[in-house]
Amino acid sequence: MIIRTTTPTHILRFPFDPADCDEILVTYKQNDDIKVEREKGQVTINNADKTIEYTLTQEETYAFNARGVVYLQVKCRQGDTVMASDPKTLKVEDVLDDTLMGIPDSEET
């Protein structure tokens, strides 16, 4: 689940060491629109746990439509081989006040 205007940290587990990937692409898609993407240089890799970790921003979660779903998929390239995870479905929940906190010049909606 993702709650709009929050900053969730996502930890994704791989069946192999993600450091072995030449490229990593994490994609969040909603209503046929790519809303957020993360590349290998934008994630933290934990070799021992075979995970990647990153945090979504308030602006990124604000872009999701509330009471809908977001699809998450990870792709990895190792040399000429490209692999992709099964798409995962994440429910999007709204907040009572969707003001972005701690961001100068953010406006209430």
Global pTM reads 0.91
Whether pLDDT at 109 is above 80: no
CA distances from 18 to 5, 40, 57 (A): 29, 9, 23
Q: Which CATH class, in words, describes the domain spanning 2-93?
A: mainly beta
Q: For the chain, what are the domain ranges? A: 2-93
Task: Report pLDDT digits (tens) over 11-67.
Answer: 999 999 999 999 999 999 999 999 999 999 999 999 999 999 999 999 999 999 999
DSSP secondary structure, the chain, as one string: -EETT---EEEEE-SS-GGG-SEEEEEEEETTEEEEEEEGGGSEEETTTTEEEEE--HHHHHTSPTTSEEEEEEEEEETTEEEEPPPEEEEEE--S--PPTT-TT----
